[in-house]
Amino acid sequence: MKVYGDTQSGNCYKIKLLAGLLDIQHEWIHVSVLGGETQTPDFLNKNPNGKIPVLALGGGRFLSESNAVINFLATGTALLPEDPLQYAKVQQWQFFEQYSHEPFIAVARFIAKFLGLPEERRAEYESKQEGGHKALRVMEQQLQQTPYLTGSQLSTADIALYAYTHVAGEGGFDLTSYCAIEAWLERIRLEPKYVAMQ
Stretch that binds a second copy, among 2-10, 15-23, 72-80, 181-189 (CB under 8 A): 72-80
> Which amino acid, residue 172?
G
Q: What is the DSSP string of 30-75?
A: E--TTTTTTSSHHHHHH-TT--S-EEEEETTEEEESHHHHHHHHHT
Shortest distance (Å) from residue 64 CB to a second copy: 6
Stretch that binds a second copy, among 16-24, 31-39, 80-88, 180-188 (CB under 8 A): 80-88
> Which amino acid, residue 106?
A
Question: Do residues 165 and 136 make contact, with C-beta atoms less than 8 angstroms apart?
Answer: yes
Shortest distance (Å) from residue 190 CB to a second copy: 27
Shortest distance (Å) from residue 18 CB to a second copy: 13
Shortest distance (Å) from residue 98 CB to a second copy: 5
Distances in Å between the alpha carbon of 131 and those of 10, 102, 111, 149?
Answer: 18, 10, 15, 19
**Binding positions for a second copy, 101-140, rule CB under 8 A:** 102-103, 137-138
Regarding 9 and contact with a second copy (CB under 8 A), the answer is no
Regarding 41 and contact with a second copy (CB under 8 A), the answer is no
> Which amino acid, residue 2?
K
Regarding 98 and contact with a second copy (CB under 8 A), the answer is yes
Residue from 37, 56, 100, 187 that binds a second copy (CB under 8 A)?
100
Residue from 68, 78, 115, 196 that binds a second copy (CB under 8 A)?
68
- Rounded (5°) CA angle 38-39-40: 100
**Binding positions for a second copy, 172-191, rule CB under 8 A:** none
Regarding 88 and contact with a second copy (CB under 8 A), the answer is yes
Regarding 36 and contact with a second copy (CB under 8 A), the answer is no
Regarding 78 and contact with a second copy (CB under 8 A), the answer is no
Please state whether beta strands 2-5 and 27-30 pair in parallel, antiparallel, or not at all (unpaired).
parallel
| C-alpha neighbours within 13 Å on the C-beta side of residue 7 | 13
Please state whether beta strands 61-64 and 27-30 pair in parallel, antiparallel, or not at all (unpaired).
unpaired
